[in-house]
Structure 1
Amino acid sequence: PELLIDAVIESGAKNLTIIANDTGVPGRGISRLIDTDQVDKVITTHVGLNPRTIERSIEGSLELQLVPQGSLAEQIRCGGAGLGGALTPTGLGTEVAEGKRVIEVQGKAYLLEEALRADLALLKSAISDEFGNSFYEGTCKNFNIVMAYAADLVMVECDQLVDIGDMNPHLVETSGILVDHLIKGAKCE
């Protein structure tokens, strides 16, 4: 959601923690927040396409927490559901497990992946109606749907804005009741 990222950059907000599937590619999306040194911590699954994330992490100006993708999705889902976290065997015996509680259930060991919540979620939809009901395309389906439940304030930037009633209700992936603010993106007419 480039326009929403623009607004965060212009606000001058600092010391941000970002929860995202990846840190993007240089010059786009959340990568721009990392480039402007507005981010202190990133919780993510992948940084390989963003050299600035790696550089800042190595120099110590950015805390980087790498999480398996399924675990990250569950942490966010738990945050949205009001749960304390999720138990998973993923990451046991690896760096992922360092500093985390191991809980035994029925003779099997699990990592406790604590729930994640955000103050603000910036989401990008393909189609939204004026109430905020939203449909996502491509990789936007990965985390946008669960993140809408796990944030105190939800802002959606849509490619196409339609009137209430013009959107097929079977396409709605985020209910408008969860959306606090909606803006038209560059592709909107």
Structure 2
Amino acid sequence: MSRNKVYPDARSALEGVVFDGMTIMSGGFGLSGNPEHLIPALKDTGVKHLTVISNNCGADGFGLWVLLNAGQIDKMISSYVGENKLFADLYLSGKLELELNPQGTLAERIRAGGAGIPAFYTKTGVGTVVAEGKPTEVFDGETYVRETWLKADVAIVKAWKGDREGNLVYRKTARNFNPNMATAAKVTIAEVEEIVEPGTLDPDGIHTPGIYVDRIIQGPGYEKKIEQRTVRVRPAAMASGENN
């Protein structure tokens, strides 16, 4: 008989797996695909000295920002750190360590961690600060820099649907870093918008097989924020003077 992977809420799903000084992977890209219930629950545990692997560190008042604001993160391994004043202030004051990665390199380092590949070579970053202190190698007359895998103690990911066995389906761009992160941690906790019975999901449409997922919760609701909304005035409205 398979063990029960379904937990009643985010708090209970984190019990017994968080500790000071741990490394956490958190899915999401901007405000899309964030585990927005697990992150506040993580804050409430009081865990500190975290190393967090994520594309970015949330936005004002939302996502990983809440952990940053609470002083629980010591180091970020990220790709995009713009538009986050708190992040900039902490980094420039020496209170936050940052390991900056080109976005594709970050994704591949996570994928490598899940695939058991300790290192790989890439041309991205050669001759820049990204390559400082890293071994290089020449292949076919081109210089490549060696990057190492990324792994975590816990990965928190967000999916659209999941079944009780932990099989996950992501929706559109909310997939982003989530599937790779789900494979690269000792414990993977998923939050989903809907939990369905095994056999309900189309096997060909499953993005993360349940073998990678240890715990799963159904979130009570999702805001689905838009980070930046840009609109263009319609020519007809301009001609009629509606925006004057």
Question: TM-score when scaled to structure 1?
Answer: 0.95
Please list, as runs of the form range in 1=range in 2, the aligned pairs for 1:149-188 lying within 5 A after superposition.
149-187=183-221
Deviations 1:23-70 (A, max 9, x none): 121111111111111000001110112211111100111011111011
**Residue 97 of structure 1: how far off its partner (Å):** 1.0
Letter of the 1:89 counterpart: K
2:178 alignment partner in structure 1: 144
Q: Which has the larger radius of gyration?
A: 2
In the alignment, which residue of structure 2 is the partner of 1:46? 80
The answer to whether the 8 A contact 1:24-1:47 is kept is no
Mapped to 1, the partners of 2:171 and 2:96 lie a distance apart of 30
What one-letter code is carried by the residue in structure 2 that aligns with 1:144?
Answer: N
Give, in whole Å, the separation in 2 of the partners of 1:147 and 1:92.
25
Q: 2:143 is matched with which residue?
A: 109
> In the aligned structure 2, how far is the partner of 1:90 from the partner of 1:22?
19
Query: Which of 106, 127, 132 is equivalent to 1:72?
Result: 106
Larger fraction in strand: 1
Alignment RMSD: 1.3
Deviation digits for residues 65-117 of structure 1 (CA, Å, limit 9, x no counterpart)? 11101101111111111111220000011111111111222332111111110
Code of the aligned partner of 1:61 = K
Q: Check if 1:63 corresponds to 2:63.
A: no
SS in 2 for 1:7: helix
Q: Structure 2: which amino acid aligns with 1:32?
A: V
Q: Aligned AA for 2:87? A: T
Deviation at 1:164, TM superposition (A): 1.1
Report the secondary structure of 1:177's partner residue.
Answer: helix
Residue type at the aligned position of 1:107:
G
Report whether the alignment pairs 1:13 with 2:47.
yes
2:155 equivalent among 85, 103, 121: 121
Separation in 2, partners of 1:95, 1:17: 21
Q: Secondary structure, in 3 states, of the residue corresponding to 1:104?
A: strand
Cα displacement (A) at 1:171: 1.9
Question: Residues 81-96 of structure 1 correspond to what in structure 2 (within 5 A)?
Answer: 81-96=115-130
- How far residue 136 of structure 1 moved from its aligned partner, in angstroms, is 1.1
Corresponding position: 1:135 with 2:163: no
Question: Any unmatched runs of 5+ in structure 1?
Answer: none
2:9: which partner in 1? Answer: none
Aligned residues: 188
